[in-house]
Amino acid sequence: MFKFSVRLIKGLMQVTAWLQEQPVLTNLLYRISGPASYLPSRDLTVTWPRAEEHKDFSLPNSSWSQSMRNLYNKYMELSQQGSWIRLPSYNATVTHFTEQCPNSAKPQVTTRLFTRNLDVEGLGFEYVVFYNQAEQRTVCIFQAGPYLEGSHGLIHGGAIATIIDSTAGICAICTAGKVMTANLNINYRSPIVLGSTAEVQCRVDKIEDRKIFLSAEIRNVDGQVLHTEATILFVQV
Ligand SMILES: CCCCC/C=C\C/C=C\C/C=C\C/C=C\CCCC(=O)SCCNC(=O)CCNC(=O)[C@H](O)C(C)(C)COP(=O)(O)OP(=O)(O)OC[C@H]1O[C@@H](n2cnc3c(N)ncnc32)[C@H](O)[C@@H]1OP(=O)(O)O
């Protein structure tokens, strides 16, 4: 009797697992009771194509608009004169800091950087960051894809906060090493249309002991429209 019960339970678990894989049932469950019941219970795994491990995602790709390319070329020219440097950008945070490590010291990558977590070019953020060491400034040229929608056809405010936090974070890291965002204060002045190109300008305003105070602005390509203003505090850890 006991053996029969164990077999029955195992069998039922297998059938349930199989049913969860079936698109028709998943769809039905979603319609009846919402997302919770159709989410797979098994562990999620991170897609990590090995070939991408050291791909620099800040180089132009076919999804970049002409205005994105024009701004990129402008800063690349300035880079050649020595004032700005283009920072490489990988799809895992840890890769930025292990590039010089011997293979044996490299940690296994099991996580993705939030701003680089979509595999299809152009759907999320396309961006490149330049750093000016003498002026303690960063510039981020970005294009927001259709998966970043908030209000209809416009970028989500949280996505705007993300790109500001990242641009300011890189500026603070380049200036002061390991830091954490302690405070991020944003004024949304005018909406950013999905697909448009915009520029984040960020600078270090002052440093007090472990505190790095920065300010940032997002403007459209020709600088005439102010989209967003922010102040950010990072604390050295
Ligand atoms: C080598 C290559 C380099 C190239 C770099 C290029 C690329 C980098 C690549 C990838 C990076 C990717 C993205 C960009 C990077 C970063 C952006 C994301 C960063 C984040 O997204 S990160 C997540 C959100 N973040 C948190 O999850 C923090 C939670 N939090 C804490 O972990 C603590 O809270 C902490 C550590 C903040 C402080 O803790 P603590 O114990 O160390 O310090 P303590 O509390 O003593 O404060 C010390 C002094 O700061 C003042 N202070 C503190 N907090 C304040 C506040 N909120 N407002 C005003 N003042 C504040 C105190 O008043 C005191 O001031 P005073 O000294 O004057 O009294």
Q: Is 91 in the pocket of ligand 1 (CB under 6 A)?
A: no
Contact (Cβ atoms closer than 8 angstroms) between residue 11 and residue 4: no
* Residue closest to 201 by CA, chosen among 170, 178, 176: 170
Q: Determine the atom of ligand 1 nearest the C-alpha atom of 209.
A: 67
Cα(143) to ligand 1 centroid in Å equals 27
In a domain, 42, yes or no: no
Query: Among 162, 180, 207, which is best to mutate for testing ligand 1, by the most ligand atoms less than 8 A from CB?
Result: 180
- The model carries a pTM of 0.83
Q: Is 148 in the pocket of ligand 1 (CB under 6 A)?
A: no
Are 22 and 101 in a shared domain? no
Dist. CA 220–CA 193, nearest whole Å? 10
Q: Which residues contact 84 (CB under 8 A, 6 or more apart)?
A: 75, 78, 130, 131, 132, 139
- Write the residue with the smallest CA distance to atom 52 of ligand 1: 182
* Residue closest to 202 by CA, chosen among 189, 191, 186: 186
**Structural domain of residue 197, as residue ranges?**
50-236
Contact (Cβ atoms closer than 8 angstroms) between residue 163 and residue 203: no
Per-residue pLDDT of the chain (237 residues), as tens digits, is: 677 777 877 877 777 666 655 556 555 554 555 434 444 444 555 554 444 567 899 999 999 999 999 999 999 999 999 999 999 999 888 888 776 656 666 666 778 899 998 989 999 999 999 999 999 999 999 999 999 999 999 999 999 999 999 999 999 999 999 999 999 999 999 999 999 999 999 999 999 999 999 999 999 999 999 999 999 999 999
Q: Is 112 in the pocket of ligand 1 (CB under 6 A)?
A: no
Tokens of 12: 């039922």
- Write the residue with the smallest CA distance to atom 13 of ligand 1: 166
In a domain, 156, yes or no: yes
For residue range 11-53, list pLDDT tens digits in order. Answer: 777 776 666 555 565 555 545 554 344 444 445 555 544 445 6
Dist. CA 72–CA 40, nearest whole Å? 41
Cα(184) to ligand 1 centroid in Å equals 10
Q: What is the CATH number of the domain that holds 175?
A: 3.10.129.10
Residues paired with 42 in a beta bridge: none
Q: Determine the atom of ligand 1 nearest the C-alpha atom of 173.
A: 5
Q: Is 128 in the pocket of ligand 1 (CB under 6 A)?
A: no
Which amino acid is present at 150?
G
Are 216 and 116 in a shared domain? yes
Q: Is 17 in the pocket of ligand 1 (CB under 6 A)?
A: no
Distance of CA 168 to the CA centre of its chain: 13
Cα(172) to ligand 1 centroid in Å equals 10
Q: Is 166 in the pocket of ligand 1 (CB under 6 A)?
A: yes
Are 205 and 167 in a shared domain? yes
Catalytic residues: 165
Residue ranges in the chain assigned as alpha helix (H): 2-21, 23-33, 66-80, 93-98, 157-176
Interface pTM (ipTM) of the complex?
0.95
Are 33 and 55 in a shared domain? no
Are 91 and 187 in a shared domain? yes
Contact (Cβ atoms closer than 8 angstroms) between residue 20 and residue 26: yes
